[in-house]
C-alpha cells in the first residue's frame, strides 16, 4: 500500500507539473507548496507552441497507456460505478469509524486489517485524483488545436472519453470542449452517444452538463450544423412524423421525462414598455396584441417528478411540494403534473437581485429563513447523491441551472433557420411565451437573455423576414406619387404576391397549426413586431445602469448582447419605421457605446465611498424602469415620462477610475461579452446612419419631383430655353445635406468622433474596422451623400415592375433554400417535393437569363444592380456554406441546388464590381466545393475577373489547388474549362497583367507539366491539322461568348474550347512589363512561339462566322 501511495503521489506531481506547463503557469517546475493552486482550477488556455511539444513528444500516447493501466488497478471505476463521489464519502466515514474501533480494541489482527482498509481507501482516492488530473491534462493539450483534436479522434480516444462520462472525473467537460470547437468531430457523434448522455440525466439527476454537450453538438463555434440539430431534435423532442414507432416513443418519453415544459400563466399587469411608433399601431396589425392590453403573463413550468425522488429512478427531479413551491392552477390543462411559476425557481441564479422581486423576501431574510448559507461547491456538484443532500435553495439552483441549459440548447437547435426544429418548438415556445420570459423583471438576466435569444431564433430570423436594403439606390420615379419620407420598412407585398402559406410538413399538419402561427405569416407591415420593440426599448431606456457596462458582470453583459442582437434584427428587417424611434434610440445606444464610462469591476455604492445616497449618485436597478409610469396601451402622442427617456447626467463619482483603465481594450474572457456588445452597437448605429442617408436621398428626389421635374414642362422649356435652378431649391438641397436625420450629437455626447477614436483602441479587429467606418460617417457625411446620389437609378414604370418581380423571385429562392430539409429530403420528417425542386431550378434560370440578356425595359447590367438591392447574395453565401455531410440522404439534390445557385451567381457578378464585392465573402466556402463540383470554379473566376483589387488578394494556396485539380482532370482525359478560366481571370485585370498571379500560375503550370495542363496542339503537322479540324466542326458559338449552351456540348467542342482558352491564358500571362515579364514572356514563347501563331492565322484567312458554312479553309 505504501508503494502504491508513493507512486500515486509521484504521478500526481508529474501530471500537475504538465498542466502548469501547458497553461504557462508560474508554478511550472516548482514544488507543490502550500501556496500552489489546485491545477484543476487552472483556466483553459490554448498555447499552440506548448501543445505541439506535447504532441510531437508522444506525451499523449504515453498518457493514454498510463490511463489504461491506472484504470485496470482502480476497481471502483472499472466496475462502472457512476456514483464514485458517494462511495468516496462512505469510505471516508468508514475510515473514521475504524480509527475509533482501533482505539477501543486491543486485538492486533483487527488493528492491522483496519489500517489496511484505511490505506486501501486512501490509495483509491489518490488514483481517482490522478485520473482527474489526466483528464484535465488532455483538455489542456488539445484545446483550440484542430490538428490535435483530429488526432484524438483518429486514435479512438473520443470514444474512450465518452465511456468516462458520469464518473465525476471531468470527462464531460473535456468531451464538450472537444466537439464544441470542431464541426467535423461533432458530426461523428452518433445517435447512441446522444441517447447515452440523455440517460445520464436519469442516472445523475438534472445536471446542466449534459444539455451543454448537446448544445455544443448542435452549434460548434456558434455555427449551426443542420444534421446535428435535427439529430438532437429526433432523440429529445420529436422523432418526426414519418419515423418508426420505436423511435417516436423514445423521443416522446425523453421529452416528457427530461424536458421542462413551459406555458403562459395568469397576467402580471407589468407592461412591455412604451410605444415605438409615432402613434400606437392598430391592434389588428400587431403580433401578440394581448400583451399590449394585459401586459406580460407569468411563465409557468412543469416537469416529471415522483412522490419521492432518488437519483437513478428515471424521472427528472423532486416535485413542487418537496421543493416548497406554490402550485399555480392551469386552465384547460390536460397534464396531471403541477405547474409552478418559473420565477419561484430561477431567482436563485441571481439571489441578491431577484429574491425580493420573486418571493417578497430579501435575500438576507431568505437565508435566515432557510437556515442555510449556500455553498457554491455543492451547487456545482456533479454527483447525484450530493444533489440529494442539498438544502432547498441548493436544490432550486440545481433545477434552475438545468432550465437555463435547456433554453440555451433550444436556441442553438433553432439557430440559422433550422425549420424542422422551429416548427417543432414554435407551439410550446410561442411568441408570447418568449416575449413574457424576456420581459419579466423577476427573472435573472441569464434566463431573460435565453428567452431573448429564443425570440430571435424562433420568431424573428425566419421567413418571411429578410434584410431590407439601406440606402435603396433603385428608386421608382412616378411624378404623380409622393415618395416616402421614412426608413425602409418591412412590407409583405414586396416579398410575395399572395399571403404566404405557413411552413409545414404536410397539409394535415398545416391545418392543425394554432391561429397565432397562421397570423405570423399573414401580418405584413412594420407594426407586426410592435410588442418586441417595446420589450427592447424597456431595456435600452434603463439609464446609466445599462449605458455604463461593467466588464466583470458577465451575465448582465450577455443579457445586453442578446437585446442588441434582437434590435439589430428588427432594424435590418425593417421593423423600425419611424425616424422618431431611431432618434430616441440613438442617444442611449451612443452612450452605451462610449467605453470611457465603463467599469472594470462593480462600481462602489454611495455608502462605500462615504456619501449619502442621492438620485444623482445612486444607479437605478439594472434593466428596470418604473412600471407605474408606463400605461399598458401608450401612444407616443402622449408625453413620455422623464425618468424613461431623459438622459441622466453622470456626476464625478459615477465615472470609473483611470487606474488600469487600459485593461478594457484587452481581448480576454472577462471582456468578450462587452466587446461583442460594442460590435453590435456599432453595427446598429452605422445602419441608422445609412437610414439617414436613405431619407436624405428620398427628400432630395422629392424636391426634384415637385419643384424641378414640373418645370421641365413649363413654357420656357417648350421654347428650348435653359432652366436655371432657383435659389430656394438650392437652399433646400443644402439644408437637406446639412441637417442630420438622426443626430450623432446626443445629450452628454459632445464629441462622437472621440468615441470612435476610443473604439479604435480596442484589440478586437471588428471594433476597429467598424469604429473607423463610423468615424468616416461622422466626418464625411456630405461627401458620402454626393457619392450615393451619383449611384441612384430612377426606374421607369416597366423597370419598377421588373424590380418587384426580381424581389419576389429572390424571396422565393430564400424561402426554398432555408427550408430545404422540408422539401429536398426523404427522411423522418418529410418526402422530396419534386414540384419545389423544379421551382427552384426555374427561379435560378430566370435570374441567370435576366442577368445575361436583360429584358425589354432593362439591360443585363441594370438587372445586376437590381439584384444588389435584394438578399440574393446572402442566399448565395448560405447555399455555398451547405455541407454535404449534413444531408447524407440527399447529396445529389444538394449538389444540384448549389450548382444552380452558383450558375445564377456567375451572371449576377459578371463584370460588375459592386456585385463582385458582395460575392467575395463567399470565396472561402466556394473553394471547398470545387473539388467535387468543378462548375463552381466559374463563380470564382467571375468574382475575380476584371477586378484588380481582388486579383491582388488571390491566395497562393488557391492557385495551387486549382492547378492540382487541373492536372487531375487532364490526367483523366477531361477538358474541364472552369479551372483554366480561373487562371485566365486572375492573371490580368483592367487591361494589365497581374504580375504576382502571373508568376504563381507559371510556377503551377511548370510543376504540373505544361503539356498536361494546357492543350496547345502546336508542335507537329498532325496537331495543327487537329486544331483546324476542330475549328471546322465547331458549332457552340455562344459558349465562347460566356453564354449558356443549348443542349449537350460534344467532346470535340469541349476540346476546342479548352484549346482556345489555353492560348488565351498564354496571352494573359504575357501581358505587362517589368522584372516579372523576364519570367513570364520567355515561358509563353517557349510554349507557343509567335511564328506558330502566324502560321495558324494565315491558314484561317477569315473567321468562321463571316464565311459560308461549306467554304474550305485556305491553305
> What are 555-587's pLDDT values in tens digits?
999 999 999 999 999 999 999 988 888 988 999
* Other Cβ atoms within 10 Å of 449 Cβ, number: 26
Question: What's the pLDDT score for residue 644?
Answer: 46
Question: What's the pLDDT score for residue 208?
Answer: 87
Please name the residues in contact with 625: beta carbons below 8 A apart, sequence gap of 6 or more: 273, 538, 541, 542, 643, 644
Q: Are strands 296-302 and 340-341 parallel, antiparallel or unpaired?
A: antiparallel
Q: Cell triple for residue 467?
A: 434584410
Please name the residues in contact with 919: beta carbons below 8 A apart, sequence gap of 6 or more: 873, 876, 905, 908, 909, 939, 943
CB 354 within 8 A of CB 345: no
Instruction: Read off the pLDDT of each residue in 1043-1054 and give the average, rounded to a whole number.
Output: 71
Instruction: Read off the pLDDT of each residue in 790-811 and give the average, rounded to a whole number.
Output: 93
DSSP-based three-state secondary structure for 230 = helix
Kind plus residue range of the DSSP H or E element containing 992: strand 992-993
CB 869 within 8 A of CB 802: no
CB 415 within 8 A of CB 219: yes
pLDDT exceeds 90 at position 402: yes
- Count CA within 13 A, CB hemisphere, residue 866: 28
Number of H helices, E strands in the chain: 56, 7
DSSP state of 595: G
CB 492 within 8 A of CB 524: yes
Q: Give the pLDDT band of residue 1040 (cuts 50, 70, 90).
A: low
Cα distance between residue 510 and residue 513, in whole Å: 5
CB 701 within 8 A of CB 477: yes
- Count CA within 13 A, CB hemisphere, residue 399: 32
CB 391 within 8 A of CB 370: yes
- Residue 923 preceded by cis peptide, ω within 30: no
Question: What's the pLDDT score for residue 99?
Answer: 53
Q: What is the 3-state composition of the chain as percent helix, strand, coil, each rounded to the nearest 5? A: 60, 5, 35
Cα distance between residue 172 and residue 627, in whole Å: 44
Cα distance between residue 739 and residue 742, in whole Å: 9
Q: Give the pLDDT band of residue 609 (cuts 50, 70, 90).
A: low
Question: Could you write out the three-class secondary structure of 1000-1013?
Answer: HHHHHHHHCCHHHH
Q: Cell triple for residue 17?
A: 507539473
Instruction: Read off the pLDDT of each residue in 980-984 and give the average, rounded to a whole number.
Output: 93
DSSP-based three-state secondary structure for 1048 = coil
DSSP state of 349: G
CB 13 within 8 A of CB 19: no
pLDDT exceeds 60 at position 125: yes
Question: What's the pLDDT score for residue 384?
Answer: 41
Per-residue pLDDT tens digits for 688-702: 999 999 999 999 988
How far CA 255 is from CA of 234, 634, 937, in Å, comes to: 10, 40, 46
Please name the residues in contact with 212: beta carbons below 8 A apart, sequence gap of 6 or more: 176, 405, 408, 409
- Count CA within 13 A, CB hemisphere, residue 921: 11
CB 214 within 8 A of CB 197: yes
How far CA 848 is from CA of 818, 858, 864, 910, in Å, comes to: 20, 14, 10, 11
* Average pLDDT over the chain, rounded to an integer: 82
CB 570 within 8 A of CB 532: yes
Cα distance between residue 677 and residue 1058, in whole Å: 52
Q: What are phi and psi of 301, to 5 degrees?
A: -135, 155
Q: Which residue has the higher pLDDT, 177 or 226?
A: 226
Q: What are phi and psi of 479, to 5 degrees?
A: -60, -15
Cα distance between residue 900 and residue 894, in whole Å: 10
**Residue with cell string 460590435:** 679
Q: Give the pLDDT band of residue 849 (cuts 50, 70, 90).
A: very high
Cα distance between residue 784 and residue 779, in whole Å: 10
pLDDT exceeds 80 at position 101: no
Q: Give the pLDDT band of residue 420 (cuts 50, 70, 90).
A: very high
Instruction: Read off the pLDDT of each residue in 1088-1096 and give the average, rounded to a whole number.
Output: 72
DSSP conformation letters of 817-844: HHTHHHHS--SSS----HHHHHHHHHHH
Nearest to 682 by CA among 776, 811, 609: 776
Question: What's the pLDDT score for residue 158?
Answer: 73
Cα distance between residue 1077 and residue 1071, in whole Å: 8
How far CA 97 is from CA of 69, 116, 888, in Å, comes to: 32, 14, 60
pLDDT exceeds 80 at position 1096: no
Question: What's the pLDDT score for residue 723?
Answer: 60
**Residue with cell string 477610475:** 657
pTM confidence score: 0.86
Per-residue pLDDT tens digits for 222-238: 889 999 999 999 999 99
CA 476 to chain centre: 35
CB 816 within 8 A of CB 823: yes
pLDDT exceeds 50 at position 1057: yes
User: Among 614-618, 861-865, 1032-1036, which range has the highest average pLDDT?
Assistant: 861-865
Q: Which residue has the higher pLDDT, 1042 or 449?
A: 449
DSSP-based three-state secondary structure for 130 = helix
Contacts for 462-465 with beta carbons within 8 Å, 24 or more apart?
462/417, 462/419, 462/422, 462/818, 463/417, 463/500, 463/503, 463/814, 463/815, 463/818, 463/819, 464/492, 464/495, 464/496, 464/500, 464/521, 464/811, 464/815, 465/490, 465/569, 465/573
Q: Give the pLDDT band of residue 1072 (cuts 50, 70, 90).
A: confident
Q: Which range has the worst mean pLDDT, 275-284, 496-505, 910-919, 931-940? A: 275-284
Cα distance between residue 506 and residue 513, in whole Å: 11
DSSP state of 533: H
Q: What are phi and psi of 327, to 5 degrees?
A: -75, 145
Q: Which range has the worst mean pLDDT, 205-209, 284-288, 458-462? A: 205-209
- Taking the C-alpha atoms of 989, 991, 995 and 1000 in order, what is their torsion angle to the nearest 10 degrees? 50
User: Among 284-298, 381-395, 433-447, 880-894, which range has the highest average pLDDT?
Assistant: 433-447
Q: Which range has the worst mean pLDDT, 537-546, 716-725, 775-784? A: 716-725
Cα distance between residue 1083 and residue 1066, in whole Å: 9
Question: What's the pLDDT score for residue 917?
Answer: 94
Cα distance between residue 34 and residue 870, in whole Å: 65
Per-residue pLDDT tens digits for 814-825: 999 999 988 988
CA 409 to chain centre: 14
Q: Give the pLDDT band of residue 634 (cuts 50, 70, 90).
A: very low
% of the chain at pLDDT higher than 90? 46
- Count CA within 13 A, CB hemisphere, residue 567: 29
Q: Cell triple for residue 365?
A: 431574510
User: Among 327-341, 456-470, 821-835, which range has the highest average pLDDT?
Assistant: 456-470
Question: What's the pLDDT score for residue 260?
Answer: 95
* Other Cβ atoms within 10 Å of 476 Cβ, number: 17
Kind plus residue range of the DSSP H or E element containing 1078: helix 1077-1087
Question: Could you write out the three-class secondary structure of 214-252?
Answer: HHHHHCHHHCCCHHHHHHHHHHHCCCCCCCCHHHHHHHH
Q: Cell triple for residue 89?
A: 464519502
CB 358 within 8 A of CB 183: no
Q: Residue 341's beta-bridge partner residues?
A: 300
Question: What's the pLDDT score for residue 864?
Answer: 95
Sheet holding 296-302, edge to edge: 261-270, 296-302, 340-341
Q: What are phi and psi of 442, to 5 degrees?
A: -80, -15
Cα distance between residue 969 and residue 967, in whole Å: 6
Cα distance between residue 353 and residue 17, in whole Å: 41
Amino acid at each position: 500500500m505504501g508503494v502504491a501511495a508513493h507512486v500515486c503521489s509521484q504521478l500526481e506531481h508529474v501530471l500537475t507539473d504538465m498542466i502548469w506547463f501547458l497553461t504557462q503557469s508560474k508554478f511550472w517546475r516548482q514544488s507543490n507548496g502550500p501556496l500552489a493552486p489546485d491545477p484543476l482550477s487552472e483556466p483553459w488556455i490554448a498555447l499552440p507552441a506548448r501543445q505541439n511539444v506535447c504532441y510531437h513528444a508522444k506525451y499523449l500516447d504515453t498518457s493514454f497507456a498510463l490511463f489504461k493501466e491506472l484504470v485496470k488497478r482502480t476497481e471502483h471505476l472499472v466496475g462502472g460505478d457512476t456514483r464514485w463521489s458517494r462511495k468516496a464519502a462512505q469510505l471516508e466515514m468508514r475510515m473514521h469509524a475504524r480509527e475509533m474501533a482501533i482505539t477501543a480494541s486491543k486485538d492486533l489482527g483487527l488493528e492491522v486489517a483496519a489500517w489496511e482498509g484505511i490505506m486501501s481507501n486512501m490509495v483509491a482516492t489518490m488514483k481517482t485524483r490522478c485520473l482527474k488530473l489526466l483528464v484535465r491534462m488532455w483538455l489542456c493539450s488539445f484545446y483550440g488545436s484542430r490538428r490535435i483534436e483530429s488526432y484524438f479522434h483518429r486514435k479512438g480516444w473520443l470514444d474512450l472519453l465518452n465511456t468516462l462520462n458520469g464518473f465525476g472525473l471531468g470527462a464531460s467537460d473535456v468531451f464538450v470542449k472537444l466537439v464544441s470547437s470542431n464541426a467535423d468531430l461533432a458530426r461523428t457523434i452518433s445517435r447512441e452517444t446522444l441517447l447515452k448522455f440523455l440517460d445520464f440525466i436519469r442516472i445523475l439527476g438534472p445536471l446542466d452538463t449534459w444539455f451543454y454537450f448537446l448544445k455544443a453538438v448542435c452549434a460548434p463555434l456558434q455555427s449551426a450544423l443542420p444534421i446535428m440539430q435535427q439529430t438532437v431534435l429526433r432523440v429529445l423532442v420529436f422523432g418526426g412524423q414519418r419515423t418508426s414507432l420505436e423511435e417516436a416513443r423514445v423521443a416522446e418519453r425523453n421529452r416528457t421525462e427530461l424536458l421542462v415544459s413551459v406555458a403562459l400563466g395568469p397576467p402580471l399587469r407589468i407592461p412591455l414598455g412604451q410605444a415605438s411608433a409615432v402613434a400606437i399601431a392598430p391592434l389588428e396589425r400587431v403580433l401578440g396584441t394581448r400583451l399590449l392590453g394585459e401586459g406580460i403573463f407569468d411563465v409557468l413550468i412543469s416537469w416529471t417528478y415522483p412522490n419521492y425522488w432518488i437519483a437513478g429512478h428515471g424521472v427528472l427531479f423532486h416535485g413542487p411540494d418537496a421543493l416548497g413551491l406554490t402550485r399555480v392552477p392551469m386552465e384547460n390543462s390536460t397534464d396531471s403534473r403541477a405547474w409552478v411559476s418559473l420565477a419561484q425557481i430561477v431567482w436563485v441564479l441571481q439571489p441578491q437581485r431577484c429574491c425580493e422581486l420573486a418571493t417578497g423576501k430579501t435575500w438576507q431574510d431568505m437565508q435566515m429563513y432557510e437556515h442555510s448559507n449556500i455553498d457554491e461547491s455543492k451547487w456545482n456538484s456533479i454527483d447525484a447523491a450530493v444533489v440529494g443532500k442539498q438544502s432547498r435553495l441548493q436544490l432550486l439552483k440545481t433545477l434552475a441551472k438545468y432550465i437555463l441549459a435547456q433554453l440555451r440548447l433550444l436556441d442553438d437547435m433553432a439557430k440559422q433557420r433550422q425549420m424542422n426544429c422551429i416548427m417543432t418548438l414554435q407551439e410550446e415556445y410561442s411568441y408570447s411565451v418568449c416575449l413574457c420570459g424576456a420581459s419579466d423583471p423577476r427573472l435573472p438576466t441569464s434566463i431573460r437573455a435565453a428567452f431573448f435569444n429564443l425570440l430571435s431564433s424562433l420568431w424573428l430570423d425566419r421567413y418571411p423576414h429578410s434584410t431590407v436594403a439601406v440606402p435603396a439606390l433603385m428608386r421608382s420615379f412616378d411624378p404623380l406619387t409622393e415618395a416616402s419620407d421614412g426608413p425602409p420598412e418591412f412590407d409583405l407585398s414586396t416579398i410575395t404576391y399572395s399571403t404566404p402559406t405557413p411552413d409545414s410538413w404536410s397539409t394535415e399538419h398545416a391545418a392543425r397549426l394554432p391561429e397565432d402561427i397562421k397570423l405570423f405569416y399573414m401580418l405584413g407591415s412594420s407594426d407586426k413586431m410592435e410588442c418586441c420593440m417595446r420589450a427592447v426599448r424597456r431595456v435600452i431606456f434603463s439609464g446609466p445602469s445599462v449605458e455604463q457596462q461593467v466588464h466583470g458582470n458577465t451575465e448582465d453583459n450577455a443579457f445586453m448582447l442578446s437585446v442588441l442582437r434582437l434590435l439589430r434584427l428588427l432594424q435590418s428587417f425593417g421593423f423600425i419605421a419611424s425616424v422618431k424611434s431611431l432618434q430616441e434610440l440613438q442617444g442611449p445606444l451612443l452612450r452605451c457605446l462610449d467605453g470611457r464610462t465603463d467599469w472594470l469591476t462593480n462600481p462602489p455604492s454611495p455608502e462605500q465611498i462615504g456619501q449619502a445616497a442621492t438620485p444623482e449618485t445612486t444607479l437605478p436597478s439594472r434593466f428596470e424602469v418604473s412600471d407605474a409610469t408606463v400605461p399598458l396601451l401608450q401612444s407616443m402622442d402622449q408625453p413620455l415620462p422623464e425618468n424613461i427617456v431623459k438622459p441622466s447626467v453622470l456626476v464625478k463619482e459615477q465615472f470609473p477610475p483611470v487606474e488600469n483603465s487600459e485593461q478594457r481594450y484587452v481581448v480576454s474572457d472577462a471582456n468578450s461579452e462587452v466587446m461583442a456588445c460594442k460590435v453590435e452597437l456599432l453595427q446598429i448605429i452605422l445602419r441608422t446612419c445609412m437610414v439617414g442617408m436613405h431619407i436624405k436621398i428620398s427628400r432630395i428626389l422629392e424636391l426634384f419631383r415637385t419643384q424641378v421635374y414640373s418645370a421641365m414642362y413649363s413654357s420656357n422649356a417648350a421654347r428650348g430655353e435653359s432652366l436655371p435652378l432657383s435659389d430656394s431649391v438650392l437652399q433646400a438641397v443644402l439644408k437637406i445635406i446639412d441637417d442630420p436625420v438622426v443626430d450623432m450629437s446626443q445629450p452628454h455626447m459632445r464629441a462622437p468622433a472621440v468615441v470612435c477614436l476610443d473604439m479604435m483602441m480596442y484589440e478586437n479587429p471588428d471594433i476597429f474596422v467598424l469604429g473607423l467606418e463610423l468615424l468616416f460617417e461622422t466626418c464625411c457625411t456630405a461627401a458620402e451623400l454626393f457619392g450615393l446620389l451619383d449611384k441612384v437609378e430612377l426606374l421607369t414604370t416597366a423597370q419598377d415592375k421588373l424590380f418587384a418581380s426580381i424581389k419576389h423571385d429572390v424571396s422565393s429562392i430564400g424561402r426554398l433554400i432555408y427550408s430545404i430539409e422540408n422539401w429536398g429530403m426523404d427522411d423522418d420528417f418529410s418526402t422530396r417535393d419534386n414540384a419545389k425542386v423544379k421551382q427552384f431550378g426555374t427561379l435560378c434560370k430566370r435570374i441567370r437569363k435576366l442577368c445575361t440578356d436583360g429584358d425589354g425595359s432593362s439591360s443585363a447590367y441594370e438587372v445586376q444592380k437590381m439584384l444588389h438591392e435584394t438578399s440574393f447574395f446572402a442566399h448565395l453565401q448560405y447555399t455555398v456554406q451547405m455541407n454535404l455531410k449534413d444531408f447524407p440522404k440527399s447529396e445529389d439534390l444538394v449538389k444540384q441546388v448549389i450548382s444552380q445557385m452558383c450558375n445564377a451567381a456567375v451572371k449576377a457578378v459578371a463584370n460588375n464590381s459592386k456585385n463582385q464585392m458582395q460575392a467575395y465573402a463567399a470565396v472561402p466556402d466556394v473553394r471547398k466545393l470545387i473539388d467535387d463540383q468543378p462548375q463552381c470554379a466559374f463563380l470564382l473566376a467571375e468574382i475575380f475577373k476584371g477586378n484588380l483589387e481582388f486579383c491582388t488578394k488571390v491566395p497562393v494556396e488557391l492557385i495551387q489547388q486549382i492547378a492540382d485539380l487541373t492536372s487531375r482532370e487532364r490526367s483523366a482525359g477531361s477538358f474541364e474549362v472552369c479551372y483554366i478560366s480561373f487562371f485566365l481571370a486572375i492573371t490580368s485585370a483592367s487591361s494589365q497583367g497581374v504580375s504576382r498571379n502571373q508568376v504563381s500560375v507559371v510556377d503551377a503550370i511548370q510543376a504540373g507539366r505544361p503539356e498536361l495542363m494546357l492543350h496547345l496542339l502546336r508542335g507537329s503537322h498532325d496537331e495543327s491539322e487537329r486544331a483546324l479540324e476542330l475549328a471546322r466542326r465547331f458549332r457552340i458559338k455562344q459558349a465562347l461568348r460566356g453564354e449558356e449552351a443549348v443542349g449537350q456540348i460534344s467532346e470535340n467542342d469541349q476540346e476546342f474550347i479548352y484549346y482556345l482558352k489555353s492560348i488565351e491564358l498564354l496571352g494573359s500571362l504575357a501581358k505587362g512589363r517589368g522584372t516579372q515579364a523576364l519570367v513570364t514572356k520567355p515561358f509563353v514563347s517557349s510554349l507557343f512561339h509567335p511564328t506558330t501563331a502566324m502560321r495558324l492565322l494565315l491558314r484561317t484567312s477569315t473567321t468562321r462566322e463571316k464565311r459560308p458554312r461549306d467554304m474550305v479553309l485556305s491553305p
